[in-house]
Structure 1
Amino acid sequence: YWAPNINVFRDPRWGRGQETPGEDPAMIAAYSVEYVKGFQGEYGDGREGRMMLSACCKHYIAYDLEKWGKFARYTFNAEVNAQDFEDTYEPPFKSCIQEGRASCLMCSYNQVNGVPACARKDLLQKIRDEWGFKGYIVSDCDAVAIIHENQTYTSSDEDSVAIVLKAGMDVNCGSFLIRHTKSAIEKGKIQEEDINHALYNLFSVQLRLGLFEKASENQWFTRLGPSNVCTKEHRELAAEAVRQGTVLLKNDDSFLPLKRSEVSHIAMIGAAANDAYIMGGDYTGAPCDPITFLKGMQAFVPQTTVAGGCKNVSCDSTDGFGEAIEAAKRADIVVVIAGLNLTQETEDLDRVTLLLPGKQQDLVNIIASVTKKPIVLVITGGGPVDVSFAKQDTRIASVLWIGYPGEVGGQVLPEILFGEYNPGE
């Protein structure tokens, strides 16, 4: 399984920053260790014992750009000095390998000081010779193909095959090696021993996973099936993650928690208020039974109404503002859902600003000016958003950051608003 993403989130506009734990190398390193241990669930004797899954630390190295201005991840050259390697970029990967004992590492698209990351023999051998890595190295998808096609670093496809295999890469995500390895052998670019070395690294991990053994009752996952997916226990664990992950940014005069006995009508405003799609971030699986913010709130307050205000998260028009204003005027409490979704930040898409998309801030301000009481502002998204306008605005009593809360996010939001869970503790 090709996770975790442990790149350092250096530019807050990075579209894949949502996949990472943050900007602090030490914190990312600690996160990577626990992530890998939980994933691999090693058991048995010995340092290279049996595993439930194979975790893959990615993307090695200095990768934190998708597409911004004239720069793109397929051709970007990250210029990194020795101190930045040592202090910033290497610590998460070193900990992931030495302490987490990850069985896979993925090399990135970008060049590092003029050389494609998957062709940096010095860096790929360092993780084995100095850090004690025991596993296989895989390219990011099509990262080998772009060495010749996009970066023009090599003069032929066969040269690309040779440079990565001899550098220490073992597996290519994509079809490039399937299409060009035979030709590379015929042209004398690589030898059989280069392929054998790569296969040894891959098969050693597959052996630890038991992939060459006949399924038995003693193996992990043998008896798992559809009935083990989306269980009550799984959904409760997901809900607890949302509770602990939500951050209370502002709460003037202890406006929250709300009292159910005093609230008979709530208005949910925002394009994300009744949209299950926005609940999941990058690389989200198909949810079992997603609960939107509207559906979750209606379980607490049956008279909960909704108005988008904006047609979508991009919020390029004010056409829906009138309907949202009228809905807000009628309600006892108004909750505005603002922020990001995958149309604003994702793989191959960086942001150009930290402000709320389009006219979302205008919507928040207009709604706050017509309500009976101050509003609650809920922010979605994986990357940071500048909502400093709300800090001193007394019309906005409370601000919550809920991120991408997943399929039970709609269940947890009213729990927080009505005090069943306190994110401020």
Structure 2
Amino acid sequence: MKRKLSLICSLFLFSVGLAGQTVYKFQNPDLPVEERVNDLVGHLTLEEKISQMMNNAPAIERLGIPAYNWWNECLHGVARSPYPVTSFPQAIAMAATWDTKSVYQMAEYASDEGRAIYHDAARKGTPGIFRGLTYWSPNINIFRDPRWGRGQETYGEDPYLTAAIGVAFVKGLQGDDPVYLKSSACAKHYAVHSGPEWNRHTYNAEVSNHDLWDTYLPAFRELVVDAKVTGVMCAYNSFFEQPCCGNDLLMMDILRNQWKFDGYVTSDCGAIEDFYNTHNTHEDAAEASADAVLHGTDCECGNGAYRALADAIVRGLITEEQVDVSLKKLFEIRFRLGMFDPDDRVPYSDIPISVLECDAHKAHALKMARQSIVLLKNEKQLLPLDMNKIKKIAVVGPNADDKSVLLANYYGYPSCVTTVLEGIKGKVGDQVEVIYEKGVNLTDDFIFTSAYDDDLFSYDGQQGFKADYYQNTQWKGSPGLSRQEKNVDYQWGDGQEIGSSIITRQMSAVWTTVFKPERTGEICFELKADDMADLYIDGVKQNKVGNINSYYPLNAEKGKSYLMEIHYVQHADNAEIKFDMGTLRKADYRQTASSVKDADVVVFVGGLSAKVEGEEMKVEIDGFKRGDRTSISIPVVQQNLLKELYATGKPVIFILMTGSAVGLEWESEHLPAILNAWYGGQAGGQAIADVLFGDYNPSGRLPLTFYKNVNDLPDFEDYSMKNRTYRYFTGIPVYPFGYGLSYTDFQYNTIKVQPSLDKLSVKVTAEVSNVGKYEGEEVVQLYVSNPRDFVTPIRALKGFRRINLKPGESQMVEFVLTSKELSVVDVAGNFVPMKGEVQISLGGGQPSEETIKNRQCVWKSIMR
């Protein structure tokens, strides 16, 4: 009775309001969300409704509705924020941990930081893009082809592993409060989408029903049906001649009708414009927007194609009531996030800003970086290194002292990033001499050595640069901000304030200085920028050398003055620019090898970086095409240097940094030790040093198949799964999915398989023993195979568990295979029970003659 009276009083107060102030039902936190949403939408004009269906939704001041930008990213930590944040390992590295508990904890920590940023920005009156609580993560597309540049954002090639990691991420991000969402996760890119990047706006994917339901949809289903993800992003490409954001089968039949998804759907950014600009399936924005909304695409990320919804209503293509359906879904998310309620009602509103980069978060970033490292080869137990037996270590390679490679893409800015060189130096201290030679660039053979001198640059009698900033991307009109700056070296998050009048979004800048060289001869300027940047000398635009880094040589004359201008444009995302001066030379592989030949061991740190693999990039050089790869080998210049280092006769340890599978044909045959360290986040360098010197026993496992070369692969644009991934690949890889070595040895005793009385489930058990000398973690993997008269996987992962064992310790592991795991997908896309012989294996990787012989895997066949 008291609860009823309290509710009546509350309703009375909200209906009366304060003197002179209108109070609406939607502002009453005691009312059901559905009633509040209906009330709010009922007060909106058509123009206001449409404005709220675009990612940058403006404020509606007459109703007290604040502005909100739906676009935020949290792929491996809060991204693109002007606040300092914790950067965890890239998504593919998180998959390599095979640890759902660690992923859950990472997502929970990231959502803590996101909540702190959101509330701090709201209280300061600085909301905007990349400060909201709707994160467009995770990316659960299947990494079907290693050439795809965005595969680094995924959890690998396997539907089961992808689903398990994705579910943990979503649950950690969204929280478990019965009323409020901690934040909103978004499963992307729905659904048949994994490259190429260069034609994603025009490509039409077509797959069999078997591949659709066996490979491309399972992870999305798990996140939607089981994890209750609140957001889904539809992809750019078409699927059977219909754009994904307006697709009958994907959007209406499967997502809304079969899976009963009741969250919101956002388009990928610009995808609605693709309907009429590139797919040519619709005449104009009105037709495209109406069709997208009718298919359940509630929010448009882009340039405002949804503004044409008003015209679409006039033309009878859609009704206002149908628009309301999508609008209500969007506001329901905002209400569930507590955006219209007092802070004292929202359990996450008091997370302090001090949580950013707190000790627990930094410790977890290090833990995950360690867990993700995969030991691919360790000939004659070269690793771990013994500092008592080593006097000098040579660290070589383009990624050895590069902080950016560790942050990958979709990243935020931590206060401190530890490179591999720094990690090794910090580990050995004064006990071991460390020498460093970059040796070669990532993809070219230029070597730049900085020799920057502040005294050589001045403007109007003052040291440094005159900086002019514009709140547009064409340097139009008068600068919004002009000031003198000592140098040009910046990292800004998207939307960060520069001074009081410029934010880093859709902005441009010009830095002007006069350079007076102190000697005659060739010098070189280096310009690093995330977006477009050009160097002008005496009014002439300079031509760069180098295919990734931008170098500008100049034959300077002592005593001469050179007027220099740096023109920079930033459209979106992080804003980064750095200007440097020094010398440039061509790499000399033999000289580099000779300079390190007296070292006891050589650590080569190379591979790839997000500079060459990523989302729809401009890079088109040998081996790379607009974000994707045309070769899966490491760049030729790195191979050349590695061969010279190998020729010295000194042991060479290859630290591979990559977001995707690499061929490694020559490397795996010749080099004694290889560590795959991915893009390890802010603590990546420390984690690598910990593994190198045995302070951490490597335990990562590959979430991808490492093929020999591109000849192993079908055509990139072929979405059929035939001969793709470990589930269907019939060749011999360099390193298989699930593979990873340890400094210790694990053995498996006899497997036991016990069907339930109704034979609907099967219990699988085995004993795992650490028979080596080191404490270590084993990733126990369960695979099932059921050959049929229709296509089924060669084998498929159906369970995994990460366990820790001390030397001599044993542990029983147990899995229960339910009817879900004991099913296969037939040609029609239906899940049918396994029949006949079912092969079940349990081990530290896939079953093979070698793993079974060495008791690293046990297996058994049963009849069903």
TM-score (norm 1): 0.93
Conserved 8 A contact 2:245-2:297: yes
Match of 1:8 in 2: 142
Following the alignment from structure 1 to structure 2, what is the Cα–Cα distance between the partners of residues 218 and 187? 43
Following the alignment from structure 1 to structure 2, what is the Cα–Cα distance between the partners of residues 223 and 50? 14
Deviations 1:93-114 (A, max 9, x none): 1111111110011100000011
1:20 aligns with one of 151, 154, 157:
154
1:339 aligns with one of 597, 607, 617:
607
Q: Does 1:114 pair with 2:234? A: no
- Report the aligned-residue RMSD: 1.6
Task: Give, as a single letter, the amino acid of the residue that structure 1 aligns with 2:631.
Answer: T
Conserved 8 A contact 2:406-2:681: yes
Q: Does 1:191 pair with 2:319? A: yes
Q: Which secondary structure does the structure 2 equivalent of 1:164 belong to?
A: helix
Task: Give, as a single letter, the amino acid of the residue that structure 2 aligns with 1:386.
Answer: G
Following the alignment from structure 1 to structure 2, what is the Cα–Cα distance between the partners of residues 14 and 252? 31
Q: Does 1:229 pair with 2:504? A: no
Following the alignment from structure 2 to structure 1, what is the Cα–Cα distance between the partners of residues 635 and 445? 8
Deviations 1:30-52 (A, max 9, x none): 222111111111212xxxx4210
Alignment of 1:59-138 (within 5 A): 59-67=189-197, 72-125=199-252, 126-138=254-266
Task: Give, as a single letter, the amino acid of the residue that structure 1 aligns with 2:656.
Answer: I
Following the alignment from structure 1 to structure 2, what is the Cα–Cα distance between the partners of residues 13 and 104? 28
Deviations 1:359-380 (A, max 9, x none): 2111111111115x31111100
Match of 1:210 in 2: 338
Alignment of 1:290-305 (within 5 A): 290-302=417-429, 303-305=433-435
User: How far off its partner does 1:204 sit?
Assistant: 1.3
Conserved 8 A contact 2:197-2:615: no
Match of 2:176 in 1: 42
Task: Give, as a single letter, the amino acid of the residue that structure 2 aligns with 1:390.
Answer: E
Structure 1 residues 112 and 43: alpha-carbon distance in aligned structure 2, compared to 1, 3 A threshold: same
- Greater mean alpha carbon deviation, residues 153-162 or residues 295-304: 295-304
Alignment of 1:399-418 (within 5 A): 399-418=674-693
Conserved 8 A contact 1:7-1:20: yes
User: How far off its partner does 1:421 sit?
Assistant: 0.6
- Greater mean alpha carbon deviation, residues 104-113 or residues 325-334: 325-334
Conserved 8 A contact 1:108-1:143: yes
1:365 aligns with one of 631, 639, 643:
643
User: How far off its partner does 1:315 sit?
Assistant: 3.0
Following the alignment from structure 1 to structure 2, what is the Cα–Cα distance between the partners of residues 277 and 321? 24
Deviations 1:271-330 (A, max 9, x none): 1111101112121111220011111111123432211111x2113466242452233213
User: How far off its partner does 1:9 sit?
Assistant: 0.8
Task: Give, as a single letter, the amino acid of the residue that structure 2 aligns with 1:409.
Answer: G
Conserved 8 A contact 1:217-1:223: no
2:595 aligns with one of 314, 317, 327:
327
Conserved 8 A contact 1:309-1:322: no
Match of 1:176 in 2: 304
User: How far off its partner does 1:169 sit?
Assistant: 0.9
1:201 aligns with one of 319, 326, 329:
329
Conserved 8 A contact 2:384-2:694: yes
Following the alignment from structure 1 to structure 2, what is the Cα–Cα distance between the partners of residues 283 and 309? 28
Task: Give, as a single letter, the amino acid of the residue that structure 2 aligns with 1:150.
Answer: T
Structure 1 residues 101 and 78: alpha-carbon distance in aligned structure 2, compared to 1, 3 A threshold: same
Task: Give, as a single letter, the amino acid of the residue that structure 1 aligns with 2:592.
Answer: A
User: How far off its partner does 1:212 sit?
Assistant: 1.1
User: How far off its partner does 1:178 sit?
Assistant: 4.7
Match of 2:437 in 1: 307
Match of 1:53 in 2: 183
Structure 2 segments unaligned to the other structure (5+ residues): 1-134, 447-585, 617-626, 699-741, 743-775, 777-864
Match of 1:33 in 2: 167
Following the alignment from structure 2 to structure 1, what is the Cα–Cα distance between the partners of residues 610 and 346? 41
Conserved 8 A contact 2:232-2:264: yes
Task: Give, as a single letter, the amino acid of the residue that structure 2 aligns with 1:360.
Answer: Q
Task: Give, as a single letter, the amino acid of the residue that structure 2 aligns with 1:416.
Answer: V
Following the alignment from structure 2 to structure 1, what is the Cα–Cα distance between the partners of residues 279 and 402? 40
Match of 1:391 in 2: 668
Following the alignment from structure 1 to structure 2, what is the Cα–Cα distance between the partners of residues 313 and 221? 44
Conserved 8 A contact 1:121-1:168: no
Following the alignment from structure 1 to structure 2, what is the Cα–Cα distance between the partners of residues 320 and 219? 60
Structure 1 residues 248 and 277: alpha-carbon distance in aligned structure 2, compared to 1, 3 A threshold: same
Task: Give, as a single letter, the amino acid of the residue that structure 1 aligns with 2:170.
Answer: V
Structure 1 segments unaligned to the other structure (5+ residues): none
Following the alignment from structure 1 to structure 2, what is the Cα–Cα distance between the partners of residues 80 and 261? 57
Match of 1:380 in 2: 657
Match of 1:156 in 2: 284
Select the structure that is richer in strand. 2
Conserved 8 A contact 1:263-1:301: no
Q: Does 1:420 pair with 2:420? A: no
Following the alignment from structure 2 to structure 1, what is the Cα–Cα distance between the partners of residues 323 and 150? 33
Bigger CA radius of gyration: 2
Conserved 8 A contact 1:66-1:347: no
Match of 2:834 in 1: none
Structure 1 residues 386 and 127: alpha-carbon distance in aligned structure 2, compared to 1, 3 A threshold: same
Following the alignment from structure 2 to structure 1, what is the Cα–Cα distance between the partners of residues 691 and 444? 27
Conserved 8 A contact 2:393-2:434: yes
User: How far off its partner does 1:422 sit?
Assistant: 0.9
User: How far off its partner does 1:81 sit?
Assistant: 2.1
User: How far off its partner does 1:231 sit?
Assistant: 1.5
Following the alignment from structure 2 to structure 1, what is the Cα–Cα distance between the partners of residues 634 and 250? 39
Conserved 8 A contact 1:264-1:301: no
User: How far off its partner does 1:17 sit?
Assistant: 0.5
Following the alignment from structure 1 to structure 2, what is the Cα–Cα distance between the partners of residues 265 and 408? 24
User: How far off its partner does 1:177 sit?
Assistant: 3.6
Q: Which secondary structure does the structure 2 equivalent of 1:34 belong to?
A: helix
Structure 1 residues 100 and 374: alpha-carbon distance in aligned structure 2, compared to 1, 3 A threshold: same
Deviations 1:234-253 (A, max 9, x none): 11101110111000011111
Following the alignment from structure 2 to structure 1, what is the Cα–Cα distance between the partners of residues 376 and 159? 24
User: How far off its partner does 1:218 sit?
Assistant: 4.8
1:356 aligns with one of 617, 634, 643:
634
Q: Which secondary structure does the structure 1 equivalent of 2:287 belong to?
A: helix
Following the alignment from structure 2 to structure 1, what is the Cα–Cα distance between the partners of residues 363 and 370? 10
Match of 2:381 in 1: 254
Following the alignment from structure 2 to structure 1, what is the Cα–Cα distance between the partners of residues 359 and 226? 33
Structure 1 residues 320 and 405: alpha-carbon distance in aligned structure 2, compared to 1, 3 A threshold: farther
